[in-house]
């Protein structure tokens, strides 16, 4: 009988991770079937999506509460289908608030449950470590500082690195990216990445546009690249442009192409999340910003116990790039920081060197390492 592999990826970054993992597993298990909750990249690899990832792509406590009934209903039906189908292994890709419950239920019924991407216990909600230990058969960690946290608790863990570090070249060539996007070689370019979720653009779109308006007054020759992942987020951004009367800004919206936009830019404004790591691996000096609902912010702020939220700063253990969160994330602050970056070539060069060293540390052959760890659980059944 073919090996049956269940997966749940709850957002665009998880979709990308799983899309790299599926071919690595299929190379070793050519007849394997893959099913569960996934996005378009996974589906292109032959994944059977019972529900789309977009259903789970909600961030912030208040936003989750608004969708609580729908999300818990999906989880309940998913667990029922998985217990009936009894996959050989379950792989929860990030989305810990959703996946850890699924993993605990399946593990209790003898189905190995792997959690791919360590929950950010090093940033907040450290009390989850024991819950994670009850839920998972193994953690696959993307960052080198994470295994020690789980080893201290006796939780099986494997450091696999980050797949983006394998896929993206260590040396980013800005000129090549501009040629691909048919852009002038010498034009000042800012990349604006306001988030991949509709809930993020609700809080970020107008902020990023107001920032672009200030920058345009200071750098009238500059171009703003805005890659958006879906028709819905593009429509949100266009509506924000109309509301702010900013239709005349020199903005080039892209459907996808975030990596090209980052590689082509002199500097970038990026919503906190996986995109900040993508920007670092593409050697894009950046400013990190984030806003969420006031209630979500109060809850999250109370559970933080380190000074950084951006992945490049967390990996470096210091502020390599500026972060502006919630009330500090004003258009004036963001425009000032981005303008300073644009004018300071030596600072941009130092940031790019730091990002290059980070890239080399994360390049581990992630998909192959993750597949090997997963196969050991399948073989042990």
* CA 248 centroid distance within chain: 31
Which pLDDT belongs to residue 97?
85
CB 359 within 8 A of CB 165: yes
CB 246 within 8 A of CB 211: no
Nearest to 325 by CA among 46, 124, 80: 124
SS3 per-residue string spanning 179-224: HHCCCCCCCCEEEEECCCCHHHHHHHHHHHHHHHHHHHHHCCCCEE
Strands of the 251-255 sheet, one edge to the other: 251-255, 223-228, 189-193, 267-271, 286-290, 323-325
CATH of 174-362, one of 3.40.50.300, 3.50.50.60, 3.40.50.2000, 3.90.550.10: 3.40.50.2000
Which pLDDT belongs to residue 61?
46
The tokens for 104 are 């605990």
CB 130 within 8 A of CB 153: yes
Determine the Cα–Cα distance for residues 316 and 37; give it in Å rounded to an integer: 33
CB 83 within 8 A of CB 346: no
Query: Per-residue confidence of the chain (381 residues) as pLDDT tens digits?
Result: 789 999 999 877 889 899 999 999 999 999 999 999 999 999 999 999 999 887 776 554 445 556 667 888 999 999 999 999 999 999 999 888 899 999 999 999 999 999 999 887 655 555 678 788 899 999 999 999 889 889 988 999 999 999 889 989 998 888 999 999 999 999 999 999 998 888 888 898 999 999 999 999 999 999 999 999 888 889 999 999 999 999 899 999 998 899 999 999 999 999 988 899 999 999 999 999 998 877 777 666 655 556 788 899 999 989 999 999 988 999 999 999 999 999 999 999 999 999 999 999 999 999 999 999 999 999 876
Same fold? 4-161+364-379, 174-362: yes
CB 50 within 8 A of CB 78: yes
Nearest to 38 by CA among 65, 13, 60: 13
Cβ atoms within 10 Å, residue 96:
22
CB 257 within 8 A of CB 237: no
* CA 153 centroid distance within chain: 26
Angle separating helix axes 345-362 and 274-281, nearest 10 degrees: 100
Nearest to 4 by CA among 42, 57, 43, 48: 48
The tokens for 369 are 């390492």
Structural domain boundaries in the chain: 4-161+364-379, 174-362
CATH number of 4-161+364-379: 3.40.50.2000
């Amino acid at each position: 009988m073919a090996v049956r592999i269940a997966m749940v990826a709850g957002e665009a970054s998880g979709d990308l991770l799983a899309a790299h993992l599926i071919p690595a597993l299929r190379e070793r298990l050519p007849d394997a079937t893959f099913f569960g909750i996934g996005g378009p990249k996974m589906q292109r690899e032959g994944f059977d999506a019972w529900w789309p990832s977009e259903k789970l792509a909600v961030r912030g406590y208040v936003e989750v509460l608004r969708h609580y009934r729908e999300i818990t209903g999906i989880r309940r039906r998913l667990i029922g289908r998985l217990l009936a189908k009894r996959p050989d292994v379950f792989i929860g890709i990030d989305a810990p608030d959703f996946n850890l419950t699924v993993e605990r239920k399946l593990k209790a019924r003898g189905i190995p449950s792997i959690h791919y991407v360590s929950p950010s216990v090093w940033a907040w909600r450290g009390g989850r470590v024991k819950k994670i230990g009850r839920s998972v058969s193994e953690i696959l960690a993307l960052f080198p500082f994470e295994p020690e946290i789980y080893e201290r608790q006796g939780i099986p863990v494997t450091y696999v690195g980050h797949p983006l570090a394998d896929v993206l070249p260590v040396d980013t060539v800005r000129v090549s990216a501009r040629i691909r996007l048919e852009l002038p070689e010498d034009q000042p370019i800012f990349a604006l990445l306001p988030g991949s979720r509709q809930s993020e653009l609700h809080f970020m779109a107008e902020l990023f546009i107001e920032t672009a308006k200030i920058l345009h007054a200071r750098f009238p020759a500059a171009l703003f690249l805005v890659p958006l992942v879906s028709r819905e987020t593009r429509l949100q951004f266009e509506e924000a442009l109309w509301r702010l009367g900013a239709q005349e800004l020199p903005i080039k919206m892209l459907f996808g192409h975030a990596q090209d936009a980052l590689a082509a830019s002199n500097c970038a404004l990026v919503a906190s999340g996986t995109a900040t790591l993508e920007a670092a691996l593409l050697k894009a000096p950046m400013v990190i910003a984030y806003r969420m609902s006031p209630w979500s912010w109060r809850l999250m702020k109370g559970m933080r116990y380190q000074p950084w939220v951006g992945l490049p700063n967390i990996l470096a253990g210091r502020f390599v790039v500026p972060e502006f969160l919630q009330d500090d994330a004003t258009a004036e602050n963001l425009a000032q920081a981005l303008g300073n970056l644009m004018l300071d070539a030596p600072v941009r060069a130092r940031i790019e060197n730091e990002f290059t060293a980070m890239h080399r540390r994360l390049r581990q052959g992630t998909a192959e390492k993750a597949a090997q760890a997963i196969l050991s659980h399948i073989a042990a059944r």
